[in-house]
Amino acid sequence: MLIRTLAIKKDGTLLLDIPLQQLNDPQIKWYWVDFNAPSMEETSKLTDHFRFHPLAIEDCLHHLQRPKLDYYEGYQFLIIHALKGPHMKLEEVDLFVAENFLVSFHYANLEEIDCIWERIIQHPDLVQKGPVFLTYKLIDKLVDAYFPFAHRTEDQLNEIESKPRGSTTKALIDQIFQIRRDLSKLRRTVVPMSDLLYRVINSERFIQGKDQRVHFQHIYNHLIKLSYVIESSREVTSDIRDNYLSLNSYRMNTIMTTLTVISAIFIPLTFIVGVYGMNFEHMPELKWRYGYFMILGFMTIVGLGMLAWFKRKGWFNQQ
């Protein structure tokens, strides 16, 4: 639970962790307040101190809203998404942006936001460009964190394609479907964020000046690139899945062909054995001295003849 503050005075001085009440000092040019995993008491500051619109506060309290941009009197409200951990847990980050302040609100501790915070402390010149530029840096950092997940799926697909054919089909299909689930999760994050950035770029109320538009266009281009990577990976997973299913089907057909040939050969042999296994009294072949050897020879000729016939028909060429 933490509310941290960062303020920039008109003379360029950087102030850290000052009380919320001092943020209204006329000497403060603009400030950033970060609500990091706030308690309910700390969350109430959104209403009591900042007096943000109840609908915006409601969106903050209801986790995992769709990324969006809303306009309120004196400020804009953005909902963006972050991905956290190896399982790509989706986290929401809410931003209140105005000319003289930036308020960020998130329940999860995010390394990307901490990184921007530390960078500002180490390079105070970054804060001279204002809250909108800082908003760009935050969104850009969060979007950059999407790329390792996309690259991870690409590496997994490359590893699958280079695996020897001894891998079991079931294990491979399970892995493919896990990758597709990860890609779907990533896609559900990237596409709404792309829609949000497209709206931000074309917003005259949010963006003031060509330079700001170029910055947000940079993020939008990254999201478009991610979309291409995701769709390409999804196509690869579909191709690998279909290829292995086809290979598995081919193997099954080969096995069934072999079993069919064996069964077809033994059908007439079984018939012959069945006839001479009836043991009727008046069966002349049963009392013939060479009857047993003649029947074995005949059965051999029948079996070899059927093998030759199947080979001539090309059944063995299908294996």
* Residue-wise pLDDT tens digits, 64-113: 889 999 999 989 999 999 998 888 889 999 999 998 999 999 998 899 99
**Is the predicted pLDDT of residue 319 greater than 60, yes or no?**
no
**Range in 73-77, 176-180, 222-226, 309-313 the model is least confident about:** 309-313
| pLDDT value for 246 | 79
- Higher-confidence position of 47 and 309: 47
Q: Minimum mean pLDDT among 1-5, 39-43, 98-102: which range?
A: 1-5
Band of the pLDDT at 196, cuts 50, 70, 90?
very high
Tens of pLDDT, residues 199-252: 999 888 887 777 788 989 999 999 999 999 999 888 888 888 887 777 777 778
Q: So what's the pLDDT on residue 126?
A: 76
Q: Would you say residue 165 has pLDDT above 80? A: no
**Rounded mean pLDDT of 128-139?**
89
pLDDT at 54 over 70: yes
Do 55 and 124 form a contact (C-beta atoms < 8 A)? Answer: no
Q: What is the pLDDT of residue 317?
A: 66
| Burial status of residue 291 (CB atoms within 10 A of its CB: 0-12, 13-18, 19 or more) | middle
How does pLDDT run across 254-296, given as a tens digit for each residue? 888 878 888 888 888 888 888 777 777 777 777 777 777 888 8
Q: What is the mean pLDDT of the chain?
A: 85
Q: Which of 24-28, 136-140, 263-267 has the lowest mean pLDDT?
A: 263-267
Matching residue, tokens 């891998």: 167
**pTM of model > 0.75:** yes
For the four alpha carbons of 229, 230, 235 and 239, in that order, the dihedral sign comes to positive
Average pLDDT, stretch 287-306? 81
Instruction: Note the pLDDT tens digit of each residue in 183-192.
Output: 998 999 999 9
Percent of the chain whose predicted confidence (pLDDT) is above 90: 34
Radius of gyration over alpha carbons of the chain, in Å? 36
Range of lowest pLDDT (16-20, 138-142, 219-223, 240-244): 240-244
Please give the Cα distance from 292 to 290 (Å, whole number).
6
Written as six digits, the tokens of 93 are 């980050």
| Statement: residue 44 has pLDDT above 70 | yes
3: β partners: 35
